[in-house]
């Protein structure tokens, strides 16, 4: 019997229903979700707001990862950001003791689930179509935005790992 849960997500095979070209996006987002849980084990709700040496807090990284996924997928869907999304962006990293670690991890999980549903329902013929990023409407492509969501979240999960490791070892 082969235990695939010990393997990284990309080694476990295709994510059901996600087009082949977008498997790396799905794998990266699922890996981020798993790693966020693993890296924040044993951190307290107080720890997640600490900014050792002035670096971003673990809470910021969790919020930012969720926000980036949401924003990039909104742009990929050829829509602009809502007022709620702008409000979320402004609050990323601002200490809010009502946001516990379980809440932030749950929010991240919900955002990954939403992204996977989007990937499972995308019309693959739209991947090369032009899309626009931000208020400046920087031209890019649908697939470019989806891949940016994946790689940007990977960068932040790495930063989260370093912050969390420091917080645990002091």
137-153 pLDDT, tens digit each:
999 999 999 999 999 99
For position 3, what pLDDT does the model report?
65
Q: Please give the angle made by the CA atoms of 29, 30 and 36, to the nearest 5 degrees.
A: 90
CATH number, domain 20-169, options 1.20.1070.10, 1.20.120.450, 1.10.10.10, 1.10.3720.10: 1.20.120.450
Domain extents for the chain? 20-169
Who has greater pLDDT, 49 or 170? Answer: 49
Contact 34, 27 (CB under 8 A): no
Give residue 12's pLDDT band: very low, low, confident or very high (50, 70, 90): very high
Provide, rounded to the nearest whole percent, the portion of the chain with pLDDT above 90.
Answer: 94
User: What pTM, to 2 d.p., does this model score?
Assistant: 0.94
């Amino acid at each position: 019997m082969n235990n695939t849960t010990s393997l990284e997500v990309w080694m476990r095979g295709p994510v059901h229903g996600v087009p082949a070209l977008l498997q790396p996006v799905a794998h990266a987002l699922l890996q981020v979700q798993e790693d966020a849980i693993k890296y924040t084990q044993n951190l307290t709700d107080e720890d997640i707001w600490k900014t050792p040496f002035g670096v971003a807090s673990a809470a910021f990284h969790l919020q930012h990862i969720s926000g980036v996924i949401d924003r990039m997928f909104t742009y990929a869907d050829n829509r602009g950001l809502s007022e709620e999304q702008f409000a979320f962006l402004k609050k990323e990293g601002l200490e809010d003791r009502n946001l516990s670690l379980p809440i932030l991890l749950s929010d991240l999980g919900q955002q990954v689930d939403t992204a996977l549903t989007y990937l499972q329902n995308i019309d693959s013929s739209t991947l090369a179509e032009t899309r626009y990023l931000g208020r400046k409407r920087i031209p890019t492509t649908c697939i470019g935005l989806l891949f940016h969501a994946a790689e940007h979240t990977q960068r932040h999960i790495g930063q989260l790992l370093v912050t969390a490791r420091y917080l645990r070892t002091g």
